[in-house]
Chain A
């Protein structure tokens, strides 16, 4: 049945990025305050606030078909995380358009949990509700999430008592068990131990075999080569190269002038 949505995005495409630019203004004051605004109001040089415009993503166009595992790599500050947030609908693009076809689950750098005073269980339920699920739906998935994260009794402890690995495991478990059509993972696999990493990768393979789409940002090149079907290399907001993960990783390493060492391959 042809619909408005099909004009925006073909059925076999999960994410369509059309000529997207993302710029944001940052000021040198970390947190703007009324006090500062008042004090600086008297300045005559016209530069009451020093503002720098950051072009995080520049004219980026890309289609991500369903069932793809796309790895995005690039140096720090390449705009990878900004692009991920835009795909998740958190940051709006400044120009262009992003169309996402499917339910998105995010595991961004900050992980799950927004109130460390609340238990893991409460944070999971709140996260699910914020994502638009009903209480029954979250509760139905809860055991699966808790089992996968292997937190044991810690699930009912306040999250401030968690180690960073526990945070990471719970975050991963929530995002993969929310039945996403599209899973966005931003440098979030590095916190788990080797056993959990293996389990995570197996779970991601399972999701891919169900034709779900995964976008991963990582600096672990070996993981990218192993897991991804396509890789994209970003540099200073621009897309430099897309293609086979092996080729893109090689080109990227050549550019960085580093060899394949344990340091570049593994996320340490």
Chain B
């Protein structure tokens, strides 16, 4: 190294960039994971800022923007509530507050998952310019989608809590909402499990979109069917005789556990918890592998 270069770079050397980069051929294989994860972790703030600023550009950071974000699943919840009430099979009597409560928490949570997948599916194909111009761990883009979905989900929590507290006072029948309970402490860890799963799914759909640009269109139908197969509009007890249908659904155990938490004040059973964690980490690891092993191909295909 020349003296001039040493002098020039000496003062600029810092720890935020590895100095020597080696670019070599690959075949659908993983890049060296150590440096990848280090770079990914160092730039995590990018994923957050990208979500935050995009929300801002969409005016979701304003008070009315938040109202809109809540209003959409809220109104849809009412539609489903009417549907379920009208088409209700006339089984054992369940308080309307409970039915509506379950549908609302189920839908709010479902929207988080669905938004994460929907935004994730577009994250790479719409990030073309950035991807063609800069080298960085691409997994930050689907991560940003999951963060966006989470930011869109957060305003619905206080709305739900208010409904929950009021609802449990409105109706004192045996089947009413149970009100505050210790079981609700399970809520944060279950949300973390769900978020990890959502990130995994976002990576899977992001990769698929690069290879098939109309993935998002199909995703709309997939999500609609998936919603009906997941215990959102009905309780987890519907699966008593078909447990496999609950456990085979990646969203079944975790969303079922969340709705049960609020509606029955019961924590997840060991098998539900195990299935939730298994799906979550399984999809996260599969999604990471699927995405990261192909991400160096993205620049060519965009």
Q: Do A and B come from one complex?
A: yes
Give A contacts to B, CB under 8 Å.
5, 8-9, 11-12, 24-25, 31-35, 37, 66-67, 85-86, 88-104, 106, 108, 110-115, 117-118, 122, 125-127, 129-135, 137, 158, 179, 181, 210-212
Residues of A within 8 A of B131 (CB): 90
Question: Taking the nearest CB of chain B, how far is it from the CB of A108, in angstroms?
Answer: 5
A98 near B22: Cβ-Cβ < 8 Å:
yes
Question: Taking the nearest CB of chain A, how far is it from the CB of B20, in angstroms?
Answer: 4
A135 near B23: Cβ-Cβ < 8 Å:
no
Question: Taking the nearest CB of chain A, how far is it from the CB of B220, in angstroms?
Answer: 13
CB within 8 A of B39: which of A37, A101, A102, A132?
A: A132
Given A11-B1, A114-B129: A126 in contact with B19 (beta carbons within 8 A): no
Residues of A within 8 A of B218 (CB): 34
B49 near A101: Cβ-Cβ < 8 Å:
no
A130 near B5: Cβ-Cβ < 8 Å:
no
A122 near B25: Cβ-Cβ < 8 Å:
no
Residue of A nearest to B127 (CB): A114
Question: Taking the nearest CB of chain B, how far is it from the CB of A259, in angstroms?
Answer: 35
Residue of A nearest to B53 (CB): A122
Question: Taking the nearest CB of chain B, how far is it from the CB of A149, in angstroms?
Answer: 17
Give B contacts to A, CB under 8 Å.
1-2, 4-5, 7-9, 12, 16-17, 19-26, 39, 42-43, 45-46, 49-50, 53-54, 56-58, 127, 129-136, 140, 211-215, 218, 296, 299-300
B46 near A92: Cβ-Cβ < 8 Å:
no
Residue of B nearest to A9 (CB): B20
CB within 8 A of B132: which of A90, A112, A126, A133?
A: A90
Residue of B nearest to A54 (CB): B300
Complex: how many Å from CA A108 to CA B5?
25
A129 near B57: Cβ-Cβ < 8 Å:
no
Given A98-B22, A98-B23, A211-B4: A130 in contact with B136 (beta carbons within 8 A): yes
A99 near B132: Cβ-Cβ < 8 Å:
no
Question: Taking the nearest CB of chain A, how far is it from the CB of B297, in angstroms?
Answer: 8
Residues of B within 8 A of A108 (CB): 132-133
Residues of A within 8 A of B4 (CB): 67, 210-211
Question: Taking the nearest CB of chain B, how far is it from the CB of A239, in angstroms?
Answer: 18
CB within 8 A of A90: which of B5, B134, B214?
A: B134
Question: Taking the nearest CB of chain B, how far is it from the CB of A27, in angstroms?
Answer: 9
Question: Taking the nearest CB of chain B, how far is it from the CB of A164, in angstroms?
Answer: 14
Residues of B within 8 A of A210 (CB): 4, 8
B49 near A91: Cβ-Cβ < 8 Å:
no
B21 near A99: Cβ-Cβ < 8 Å:
yes
A8 near B20: Cβ-Cβ < 8 Å:
yes
Residues of B within 8 A of A91 (CB): 299-300
B25 near A132: Cβ-Cβ < 8 Å:
no
7 pairs of A and B residues whose beta carbons are closest in the complex: A89-B135, A129-B46, A211-B5, A114-B130, A5-B20, A117-B57, A210-B8
Residues of B within 8 A of A137 (CB): 16
B133 near A35: Cβ-Cβ < 8 Å:
no
Residue of B nearest to A122 (CB): B53
